[in-house]
Structure 1
Amino acid sequence: MHGKYTLLSFDDFMKEFVPSPSNRQSARVVKKSSRTNIFSKLETAENEEQMYNSIPKVLNKGNLCPNFTFVATPGKVDKSDPTRQSVDLGMYPSTLAPKRPSDGSHARIDWSSVDIPIECKDHPTNEDPFDDRAPDAEPIAASRKAALGQILSYAELVFKYQQRTRLFMVDFLGDFVRLIHIDHGGLYVTRKFNYKKEGEKVAEFFWRYSRMTPAQRGHDPTAVRIRHDSHLGREMKRMAQPPEDIDERDYIRASFEKSLDCNWPWWCLDVPVVKDEGTPKEKRFTRKFLVGKPHFQAPGVEGSFVYLKDAWRVDREGIEREGSILQALNGAKIKYVPTLVCDGDIPGQATISHDLWKAYHPKDQECPLKLHQHYRLVVKEVGKPLDQFENAAELVLALGCCIDAHKAAYKAGIIHRDISAGNILLWYNAGVGWQGMLNDWELSKHVPADDAASGGRQPDRTGTWQFMSALALNDRTRAIIVPDELESLFHVLLYYAIRFLPHNCPDAVVGKFLHLYFDDFTDGDGQFNCGQMKYFAMKTGEIDLALLRGKAKEDKAKKDVIKHPVQALRFYKPGTLEEHPIQRIISTLLQWFSAYYALENARIQNGQPDSTDAGKSSSEPKKVAPVTKARSAWIEEEDSDDEGSSTVAGHSTHLPTSMTPAEGSQLPSTPSHGDAENVLTHAAMIKLFKHALSVAKDWPDNDKSADKRPKKGYKPPEDPVSSTSMHITQLIKTTSTSRKRKNKNPPKTPKKRSKA
């Protein structure tokens, strides 16, 4: 991403990031040890394999770094890493250094232990991730961008496997080298220099680095690694054992058991407990939590299971901690949101890239980097991903609960601003059953407290690309309002329906559908805008499958021809051509949003700011989804229509004629002002969901199929935009959280819910 990295001289890099030992004895030693060119006699390598052997040998023989060992690990992947990546070399604590096999092959990379990843390239120009001739060394050539993407992906893996506040990397390029510093705010890199001629610089860097404290090297002192065979490790295994009386809530324990991956590091994490901002430091205290593999549940040492989130939040005036938002929601007794246990900023752990940027960019007016603060949050409820819904009725119920939560929060003056598939959970409410929960309030804000005319507090778009409204994607200055949030809920509904329910889009092109509707973008004037398929669905009120047409292909296994769709998307009950009740919800919402978009476009112009899968026979008996206690309870909840609407005056919220059973699902051809008004507040959408769920006989029990999304994802044709900028966006913004947040770059379809 342009402006996210800064080019420094070697001296400036060392001054800012690698302090010299302070005592005199160390100072005398540095002159003898590190001010020596240990590479002066090293012959220029003819290929990378020679570099794998010669560079670690020279560094280890130089005895610069006691207690550390340099190891070559090219091509030997970490067994726990699904990305199957391996950096060429690594600097490790000697006690954790990977061993070279007896057959003479290279050692295996260990992402959980490597202190400094080191990359080797035999070509000093084409494979250089940076360009000293360009502003801030920003790469232009495709080969350079690919090399930068590789470097950033390695850094992302280290942040993923370790509890790190920052990371150093070294990139050897033929006879040249670069030193790199990355934190959760930005990247700083040295100018390329010849280590054959100036090897004392490399020696000094490693010498100083090895004498820095773990915290100075980037290791989080509030995280203690737990040996799997230690007392705490055995206690974690005991807690993961299934009880004799397993019930629906056992998914929590089972998730924790799954997180105890023996190929992954386990940790004891400190969470500062702050009752309020005015609490004196001497009265603040810390709680400790045991965690296994990230993205799963964490138990407290007292024995109860809770959910711990580890994040680097944007620290800016006016942005509240997520815990403060939850505290306000809990205080207002809002249902279907997490219950705060404790939260706090980790003392002394904030990014420094933001503070340094101005010193090295004196001519630039605005710093593109943001200050990030390490933050941990613990909540009481442990949910499971929404893709584990039992049937479509449960999916609609879960989303209905979240609309309720959003409505109540908005009434209390808080708007979520990041409705997405990963931020909605299934949660088992004892005595009631499975319900939905609106999670991840870190991007929320107080509605009255912010100046909506300013377009928000931050200069970038806020949210998760795939689920943001088309209007928000086309206008990064747009303040997120209720219609945007309700549209995001619609996109979540569609996302899971197209993946798991029967419809007329062939399985073979579902991956392409996901790309075109959720991931795709148009390259506008200086920014990325909404993809065409989503935009025209919102504008026309119909999801046209024409963009999925292609040459018919023969399926030899089924002796059939796969026909590409030419009509609008439709959902059916399993094994029939009978309309699925979720189709009526989708058609109705599309009608409402189409009407809203017509009015919005008019306001802007006026200057104011074939059935291939559905007809297949099925041997499964046709069952009706049971009306669960949770479903009945939500339908019967009283719903107050006291929301203030609205920019469209003179029209009352109403249900469309399409929801009248006698009239089926035919929709009016012309959008009305009343249709548009239905998405200005939550009331109509809640009534729509409740009305649909109340007709119990309509909902089949066996409508969820295997996931139609390609297991290896969908790779679109040659992407005109390099993915390098996306790599650095993910690295800087989401190495400790998930997949988000501020999108200036083309996105990727989320594969799994991902939270630390």
Structure 2
Amino acid sequence: MDRDLCGNAVRLSLLGFLDKLLPIPRRVLSDRFPPVQMSKISIALEDVFQNYKQRAEVSNRIPEDQLASDFANVINANVLGHCSWGMEHPNTTLIVPIDSNSAAPSSQQTPRQTGMVDEVPRYVIRLSPHSHDLGDAERDSANAALFRKDLELEEGRPNWEHQQVFFHFKQEDSQNDPFDEAQEGEEEALEERKKVWGQLIAYADQLFLYQHRTAAFSLLVIGREFRVMRWDRSGVFVSEKVNYLLRTDALVEVLLAFTVIDDEAQGFDTSATLLQKDSDDYRLMDTLADVNIPFHLPVVGYEEGTPLPKALSPILPQPPSIDTNTVNGHSPGLVAEARDTQVTFQVPSDDSFVFEYVLDYFCQSVTDWPRYNLTVDDEEFLVCEPLYHTRGLIGRGTRGYVAYRKWTRTFVFLKDSWRSIHENVASEREILGKLNTDGVRNIPSLVRAHLFRRHETRLSHYRVNEVLGTKEERKVDVLQGHSNEPHRVKRTYSEMQEEPTPYVPHYGHHRLVLKEVCLPITAFRSSRQLLSIIGDSIEAHYDATVKSKILHCDISSGNILILPTFVLQQEGDMTLHVTWIGHVETADEIESFFNVLLYNVIRYCPHNMELHVPDFINRYFVDFRRLPTGTFECPETKVYIITSDGALKFGNRIITFGRASDEPNEALNTLILELLDWFKARYEVKAYDRSLRSGNSSAPSDPSDRPARCRRIKTEASSTGPAKSGKVFGKKTARRVSKPSAETYELASNLKDHTSVRDLFWQAKSWDWLENEVLQDHLDVLGPLPPVPEES
């Protein structure tokens, strides 16, 4: 076994691949395909290879399409047609493949077992050349795929949700094989290999997106040769390249294995059931998404100030009445009783109503996407198109759904992801469970959580335990498959020799169900409401650090969500209020909350630099600089604003919020300047402390600490006498850092804990905020922008 130095591809011999990943009893192959039948298949495939280009010219088809069509016809007629039968012998039980010494499985890994079906279903290879699903923005489509023969498929579409194995066909050429070893001087061929690799990983990504998979198999046919692959969230196993004209039995064995292993062995997530159109659950989802059919619970709007429907309004206890006709005035005791009486109310329970936006989310998700019944701890949840999903095969593959909980007949949020597994590191469900138990405010309520023990990435279990020989013997090709950049080129041979083997993350399948379905932070309706939302997030951050000793290191706009709640107004009417609810996992700094506030007010709220928002966001949030050490340095604009200036300045012009100069948003401007004063003071103190450690402060220093002599400046006059200008050079030393003032120390102390920032946000709620604020996305700017104004 050889492993790709990038860590995303493990290359095996075909025998090793079959033994580890697709094992079947050898006599099954010989029983179903005796020598006469095998010879017939070989002759038919020889005809395919010899004549597909000529046929392509006659039929005016792309050669790869003709190869796919001719290949599929031979396999359907001569292989798959002989693979369906009822198994009655005892050898149809589980098979346990034995790994070689070169591969070490995880110590916690359960024995790998490959299940075989009792009755082999009928399969067929169907083509989908240059077609894609209507909702697929990427327009991905493999040349062909293996399907169950009895399925009704949409004609001319990839039908991703039904694919068992996908096929990709290329003409015979080394540049069409992304797994060929890189050689010196092959830079031009590498570009084409990069494209093929990008296609393969894009097809695998589509399969994992439309289906619920733990793994997937594929077959790459390059002229007269083939490779078989197994994909999971860590990368891909790939077999050696085999000539199927010389080793027809090898190709037949691979195809036979695809048909006799059960769904779990093929990589299907058996906790997810694909719903058929005639099923009760499928029809139930149609009913729930039908806007003409009233939902069985009251539907509540979510705008701030929305009155609670009468059906949900509680009966409030009335305070004792005060007789206004008393001649001698009110009874002091009765007045005191009236003042002390607490008017209590009960907030409607979550299962007694549904927010309008939640119902909208679910209705919008019920599209042409495949529908599934997902189980979590034996409880069933119905989902269709994800509310969001992360693209890229390698990694977490997170999908978030607004799901219908059948048991309670309510909507919940379901998160399906592959999380990196580390020893002694708490999982998301453990952290949420602890935060819920400790009473941390403004965080999601965990309903169900499950870690699927048998759903772990297989590729990440394998490590190279033996020396693979000299560098010349280890010409291992490098392929990249990360989520954000799936189409990277293979590196040259000389580059690969210098690269160490990186760590391959080990992923496990998690599924979480949360009670609350929230709005994104971008749904805020005013700067004051945004202040309230971030203030609530700070309260959650405070609770998590104090009550649960958990800090959050990933505070961002994506991790802050909005949940409408109910409050009682002075008149006794219950209305909606918007609060924050976030995914609290670890720690972060108060500065991150400021950056979330700044990003959203700059992008959506009115201010005097709206035309320059794209440039500002790029320079402040995006423009990181990579250092030679491999670390990243913050954008210069962010460093300047946070550490040096104490003002929100861009291009020497101070950004002020409000509709116009005569209608400023004083509350927001004051809040931002106050926080910037704190940050500036903090970094001044840090700079001074750092200078003390390096001995470079403005405190009186011993003369012996100074340089013995100045650096000589060579000039033309240096050999004949002093410079005629009379200036003295070379006396500068490193700039001294002055000790911060007492006021600076006091400002910096506001960031030592949550006390001051909590007080600031609570006080800010009572400030005068801009009324009738009109929000719009300032990133939607058309045409070239004028230069950032400079002050003279």
Q: Does 1:181 align with 2:267?
A: no
* Overall identity of the aligned pairs, in %: 25
Alignment correspondent of 2:597:
493
Alignment correspondent of 1:264:
369
**What is the 5 A alignment of 1:189-588?**
189-240=238-289, 241-243=293-295, 245-248=298-301, 249-261=355-367, 263-272=368-377, 286-295=378-387, 296-302=401-407, 303-358=409-464, 368-411=503-546, 412-431=548-567, 433-441=576-584, 443-444=585-586, 482-483=588-589, 486-507=590-611, 510-525=613-628, 527=630, 529-532=632-635, 533-541=637-645, 566-568=651-653, 570-574=655-659, 576=661, 578-580=663-665, 581-588=667-674
CA contact (8 A) 2:372 2:384 kept: yes
Q: Secondary structure at the match of 1:180?
A: strand
Q: Secondary structure at the match of 2:530?
A: helix
Rounded to whole Å, the distance in 2 between the matches of 1:132 and 1:601 is 51
**Offset, 1:171:** 2.7
Cα 1:677–1:708 shift into 2, 3 Å: same
**Offset, 1:510:** 4.1
Normalised TM-score (structure 1): 0.68
Q: Does 1:68 align with 2:141?
A: no
Q: Does 1:85 align with 2:140?
A: yes
Cα 1:31–1:567 shift into 2, 3 Å: farther
Cα 1:53–1:673 shift into 2, 3 Å: farther
Q: Secondary structure at the match of 2:532?
A: helix
CA contact (8 A) 1:129 1:148 kept: yes
**Offset, 1:406:** 0.9
Rounded to whole Å, the distance in 1 between the matches of 2:142 and 2:75 is 17
Q: Which amino acid aligns with 1:403?
A: I
Rounded to whole Å, the distance in 1 between the matches of 2:189 and 2:662 is 52
Q: Which amino acid aligns with 2:628?
A: D
**Offset, 1:577:** 6.3
Deviates further, 390-399 or 124-133: 124-133
Cα 1:523–1:229 shift into 2, 3 Å: same
Q: Secondary structure at the match of 2:632?
A: strand
What's the Cα RMSD here?
3.7
Rounded to whole Å, the distance in 2 between the matches of 1:543 and 1:31 is 82
Cα 1:108–1:513 shift into 2, 3 Å: farther
Q: Secondary structure at the match of 1:305?
A: strand
Q: Does 1:672 align with 2:744?
A: yes
Q: Secondary structure at the match of 1:694?
A: coil
CA contact (8 A) 2:562 2:581 kept: no
CA contact (8 A) 1:131 1:138 kept: no
CA contact (8 A) 1:340 1:378 kept: yes
Normalised TM-score (structure 2): 0.65
Rounded to whole Å, the distance in 1 between the matches of 2:49 and 2:763 is 77
**Offset, 1:403:** 0.9
CA contact (8 A) 1:127 1:143 kept: yes
Q: Does 1:691 align with 2:691?
A: no
Cα 1:178–1:516 shift into 2, 3 Å: farther
**Offset, 1:34:** 7.0
Rounded to whole Å, the distance in 1 between the matches of 2:598 and 2:467 is 45
CA contact (8 A) 1:132 1:192 kept: no
Alignment correspondent of 2:72:
56
Rounded to whole Å, the distance in 1 between the matches of 2:639 and 2:190 is 32
**Offset, 1:407:** 0.9
Rounded to whole Å, the distance in 2 between the matches of 1:360 and 1:139 is 34
Alignment correspondent of 2:706:
none
Alignment correspondent of 1:145:
194
CA contact (8 A) 1:4 1:369 kept: yes
Q: Which amino acid aligns with 2:756?
A: A
Q: Which amino acid aligns with 2:765?
A: L
CA contact (8 A) 2:555 2:588 kept: no
Alignment correspondent of 2:149:
94
CA contact (8 A) 1:538 1:594 kept: yes
CA deviations over 1:585-620 (Å, ceiling 9, x no partner): 334334433443455566667779xxxxxxxxxxxx
Match of 2:21 among 2, 17, 21: 17
Alignment correspondent of 1:40:
46
Structure 2, unmatched stretches of 5+, are 54-62, 85-121, 302-354, 388-400, 470-498, 569-575, 695-739, 784-792
CA contact (8 A) 1:521 1:528 kept: no
- Equivalent pairs counted in the alignment come to 572
**Offset, 1:218:** 0.6
Rounded to whole Å, the distance in 2 between the matches of 1:300 and 1:382 is 12
**Offset, 1:542:** 6.9
Q: Which amino acid aligns with 1:28?
A: D
Cα 1:376–1:134 shift into 2, 3 Å: farther
Cα 1:176–1:587 shift into 2, 3 Å: farther
Q: Which amino acid aligns with 1:425?
A: L
Cα 1:24–1:131 shift into 2, 3 Å: closer
Q: Secondary structure at the match of 1:169?
A: strand
Q: Secondary structure at the match of 1:397?
A: helix
CA contact (8 A) 1:70 1:91 kept: yes
Deviates further, 223-232 or 536-545: 536-545
Rounded to whole Å, the distance in 2 between the matches of 1:404 and 1:138 is 55
**Offset, 1:219:** 0.5
Rounded to whole Å, the distance in 2 between the matches of 1:321 and 1:605 is 40
**Offset, 1:436:** 3.6
CA contact (8 A) 1:426 1:434 kept: no
Rounded to whole Å, the distance in 1 between the matches of 2:527 and 2:193 is 47
CA contact (8 A) 1:242 1:253 kept: no
Rounded to whole Å, the distance in 2 between the matches of 1:513 and 1:317 is 41
Rounded to whole Å, the distance in 1 between the matches of 2:363 and 2:686 is 50
Alignment correspondent of 1:8:
12
Rounded to whole Å, the distance in 2 between the matches of 1:139 and 1:404 is 57
Q: Which amino acid aligns with 1:698?
A: W
Q: Does 1:160 align with 2:160?
A: no
CA contact (8 A) 1:124 1:176 kept: no
Q: Does 1:589 align with 2:675?
A: yes
Alignment correspondent of 1:701:
772
Cα 1:333–1:108 shift into 2, 3 Å: same
Rounded to whole Å, the distance in 1 between the matches of 2:267 and 2:688 is 53
CA deviations over 1:435-464 (Å, ceiling 9, x no partner): 3434334x53xxxxxxxxxxxxxxxxxxxx
CA contact (8 A) 1:226 1:265 kept: yes
**Offset, 1:360:** 7.7
Q: Which amino acid aligns with 1:497?
A: V
CA contact (8 A) 2:544 2:551 kept: yes
CA deviations over 1:677-725 (Å, ceiling 9, x no partner): 3333223322332233211x3233323114635799xxxxxxxxxxxxx
CA deviations over 1:117-151 (Å, ceiling 9, x no partner): 3233347344443342479x999944433433332
Cα 1:196–1:526 shift into 2, 3 Å: farther
**Offset, 1:222:** 0.8
CA contact (8 A) 1:223 1:267 kept: yes
Rounded to whole Å, the distance in 1 between the matches of 2:673 and 2:189 is 45
Rounded to whole Å, the distance in 2 between the matches of 1:96 and 1:214 is 16
Alignment correspondent of 1:29:
32
